[in-house]
Amino acid sequence: MENSSWIHPKPEIDAPSLVIYNSLTKTKVPFIPRKGKVVTWYTCGPTVYDAAHLGHARNYMTFDFLRRIMEDYFNYEIYIVMNITDIDDKIIIRGRQNHLFTNKKASVSKIDQELIDFCKISWKNYVEKNIGPISNVEEKQVLQDWSAQFSKLKNNPEKLETEPKFPMYINTTQKALDALIKAEDILAKNSTGSSKQDADSLLDDMQDVVSLYLDKHFGNEVTDPSVFRTLTQYWENDFMQDMQMINVKKPDVLTRVTEFVPEIISFVEKIISNGYAYESNGSVYFAVNSFDGQNGHCYAKLEPKSKGNQALMEEGEGSLGSSLAGKKNTADFALWKASKPGEPAWDSPWGKGRPGWHIECSVMASEILGEQIDIHSGGIDLTFPHHDNELAQSEAHFESNQWINYFMHAGHLHIEGSKMSKSLKNFISIKEALQKYTARQIRLCFLQQRWDAPSDFKHSSMEEALSVESTISNFFANSEGLYRKYNSSGTSNIIGGVRTFLDPEKDLVKDINEAKNKVHLALCDSFDTPTAMRVILGLINRTNVYLRQRLPTADPNPVFMAARYVSKMVRIFGLSDSNSNSTIGWNESNASNSTASGNGVGGSLNISALSNENVVMPYLDILSNFRDAVRLAAKGNPVNVGELLKICDNVRDGQLPKFGVLLDDQESGEALIKLMDPEKLQKEMELKKAQEEEKRKRKEATKLANEKKLLAKLEAGKTLPEDMFRVGERATEFSEFDEDGIPTKDNAGAEITKSRRKKLVKEWETQKKLHADYLKHLEKSN
């Protein structure tokens, strides 16, 4: 029987649902997985032919944030697949070039005329391909003339505007030219040749130039498939190491194109049989016109404005694919490419060939995740043509109108406001970035920027990330210190054995709950991590204020509640190693080390593995030395209180920080013990000391400037106001004056005008005040 006295509760706050910015709609839409809490997700992986850079870090960190939030905050069961592109035009060219260049280096033993001539021809080939036609390069003088012209060519505004890679071409050419001129000088001084080291140095400095020439003339002779496999395996391993160092979780399934060639062939055959593709000269092309507008299909769903953009379409075909003939329409794109000599090849119904770039992702995603997928993610630079082509060929294969339900794109990354890309060679590799910053600091930088908006990696943003990390670390140290103190003291030192839970504690709990609601709202709003981080930092600030004002008898549990919540959120964001929601802090002893733990967040120290003596002795030494110093100071007559305080400060500031111990003086007179990373604490104290020194210098500089200003003012005040127009530079300007010394006639005898007299009176009054100040200063000095 229903209890008639029970009233159905009504929520005070409506519980929001997750909405995601969907590139397919260009709006935020409710997230509705196809199968309850299980989410299928495909993310575009790397094309492995070079080192991963910060643009890659931004992309994969971004989707790692989103994945962790969905898994650990919203409790979705994520099934994520990432591919490795190990068949691609870039890979083919880089593999051949590396192979041919290595063989060339092995074939030379010294700098001789033959090598010089080869390098000249290579250099001319590079210049004419990328910069423009040049004259004969046989004579050394011509090379030197070209060297003189490069400073002008570098700043050619027309070239810079039309060809973004032009500065790179110039720098490569200049470097090669300098090496070539140097080599000619070496040969001229030693006609019999030079050392193997000299020859290797020449080729290394001209690698890009020489590799281009070698590939152009001998690339079709490279037939060993291991050339490409060796390259991709090396860079795949390097990429996965980078992901581990920046704490990006591994996908559930990692696929490689080379493992799916039979499936790709079957997939293409189905598209042909459905009437959306055709074979031509051993290649297979997707027929855009046969697809677009037919059977409810739509081409270029993501970027309809880019449909017909020839430059983007050619880039999507790859530098080796653009030379293939047989397309019926320029908008058509390759599903299968007939292999030319020097390219990897697989048997197919259309002859020897290899997969096109776009078809690779469609097949791998569909083979693992099925005919419809919840989420597809990738960089914003892949929207057209890559992702649009993926959508078209997949929907053509399945005869469906929606292969992907939610498309998410991470914004492009800039470095200090400038575009960064691998091809321009102005990128910062992930390993280079980790030499300066920790993985956590880089993650904090990106967390505070919208995942789907352009991002700028610059000094100021990293300074902000370091400041945020320091704020959170200090908060954890305060909370952990209070926790240790609370656990060690229990209730024995509290009057009546009772801790109070009064209005300040109630207000803090209220603030915690409000922060949780605001963070939830932010994360529901398409993973708005910048807002979430601002709310979390606001809670930290509010708790710090409470800590400074709390009574010694106050119940500490509200502080622990705040600390556990912040700890939980930083764990969800991948900033911490902890897997527990009940722990406080980063849960590591060396968070400043970006690579020591192998997961990029920080290492951990196994205290139990150390002997008691090793742990205790450094602190006993400090205690013993402190006691000796206090005893010595106490024997003085009278006792030097200042010296005693100086000894205490030395323990606090000079000794304990070396071991990661910070004593934080509280308003109550007690010190709160904080345990922190020693290296980081030392750096913070050095920074604080440097800031105090800088402040002292600024204060001293201001003091000197004020003194200089005062001296100048006093010097100016020496002159009586009655004499100011009669002496010095002004003496020749006027001929007559009134009783105060103010001019009445100029040096020509003409009367001073009213407007000019007004200005002169103002000057006179200023001088009168200066002179009065001067007299006061003299009086004080005496």
Instruction: Output the domain CATH number for residue 378.
Output: 3.40.50.620
As a whole number, mean pLDDT of residues 193-197 equals 83
Per-residue pLDDT tens digits for 7-66? 989 888 888 999 999 999 999 999 999 999 999 999 999 999 999 999 999 999 999 999
Q: Which residues 6+ apart lie within 8 Å of 478 measured at CB?
A: 544, 547, 664, 672, 674
Looking at the structure, tell me whether residues 210 and 305 fall in a common domain.
no
Residue 95 predicted with pLDDT over 90: yes
The per-residue pLDDT for range 255-272, each reduced to its tens digit, is: 999 999 999 999 999 999
- In sign, the C-alpha dihedral spanning 512, 514, 518, 524 is positive
The pLDDT, as a whole number, for residue 778 is: 85
Per-residue pLDDT for 197 more than 60? Answer: yes
Higher per-residue confidence, 734 vs 325: 734
Residue 691 located in a structural domain: no
368 and 268, same structural domain?
A: yes
124 located within any domain = yes
Domain enclosing residue 748, as ranges: 718-780
Number of C-alpha atoms within 13 angstroms, CB side, residue 349? 13
Domain presence at residue 534: yes
Domain for residue 16, yes or no? no
Residue 123 pLDDT grade (very low, low, confident, very high; cuts 50, 70, 90): very high
Residues 68 and 120 both lie in one domain: no
Cis peptide before 385 (omega within 30 of 0): yes
Overall average pLDDT of the 511-529 stretch: 98
Tell whether the model's pLDDT for residue 614 goes beyond 90: no
Say which residue the tokens 């509280």 belong to. Answer: 666
Spell out the residues 6+ positions from residue 602 whose beta carbon is closer than 8 angstroms to its own: 438, 440, 577, 586, 588, 589, 590, 591, 592, 593, 594, 596
Please report the pLDDT score of residue 582 as a whole number.
Answer: 67
Boundary-marking domain end, from 225, 254, 283 = 225
Which DSSP string do the residues of 729-782 spell out, in sequence order? GGTTTEEEE-TTS-EEEETTSPBPPHHHHHHHHHHHHHHHHHHHHHHHHHHHH-
Residues 127 and 139 in one domain: yes
Among 555, 573, 591, the domain-final residue is 573
Arithmetic mean of pLDDT over the chain = 88
Total count of domains within the chain:
4
The predicted model gives 559-579 an average pLDDT of 92
CA distance 125 to 529: 50
Q: What DSSP string runs through 104-119? A: HHHH--S--HHHHHHH
For residue 467, give the CATH number of its domain.
1.10.730
pLDDT for residue 495: 47
pLDDT top residue among 352 and 489:
352
* Band of pLDDT at residue 415, cut at 50, 70 and 90: confident
pLDDT band at 163 (very low <50, low <70, confident <90, very high): confident
pLDDT value of position 620: 79
Let me know if residue 370 belongs to a domain.
yes
Residue 243 located in a structural domain:
yes
Is the same domain home to 65 and 157?
no
Query: What is the per-residue pLDDT for 606?
Result: 35
Mean pLDDT of 339-360: 97
Question: What's the pLDDT at 607?
Answer: 35
337 and 413 inside one domain: yes
Identify the weakest region by mean pLDDT among 95-109, 226-240, 549-563.
Answer: 549-563
How distant, in Å, are the alpha carbons of 98, 173, 227, 420 from that of 102?
6, 20, 11, 29
Give the residue with greater pLDDT, 553 vs 598: 553
User: What mean pLDDT comes out for the span 581-609?
Assistant: 49
The answer to whether residues 60 and 187 belong to one domain is no
**Same domain for 394 and 463?**
no
pLDDT confidence band for 344 (50 / 70 / 90): very high
Q: What is the pLDDT of residue 461?
A: 94
Residue 673 forms part of a structural domain: no
What is the average per-residue pLDDT within 342-358?
97
Task: Look at residues 523, 546, 573 and tell me which one is the last residue of a structural domain.
Answer: 573
Residues in the chain: 782
Averaged over 180-202, what is the pLDDT? 88
Give CA–CA dist 377/408, Å, rounded.
5
Please state, in angstroms and rounded to a whole number, the distance separating the CA atoms of residues 99 and 89: 15
Backbone angles phi, psi at 676, to 5 degrees: -135, 170
Let me know whether 298 and 381 are in one domain: yes
Examine the pLDDT at 602 and tell me if it is beyond 60: no
Would the pTM count as exceeding 0.95?
no
623 falls within a domain: no
Evaluate the CA torsion angle 134, 139, 145, 147 in order and state its sign.
Answer: positive
Same domain assignment for residues 85 and 97: no
Q: How many CA within 13 A on the CB side of residue 508? A: 26
Q: C-alpha angle with apex 294: 293 to 299, nearest 5 degrees?
A: 45
Please indicate, yes or no, whether residues 384 and 272 belong to a single structural domain of this protein: yes
Q: Which is more confidently placed, 491 or 695?
A: 695
Amino acid identity at 325: A
Are 360 and 394 part of one and the same domain? yes
Res 497 pLDDT > 60: no
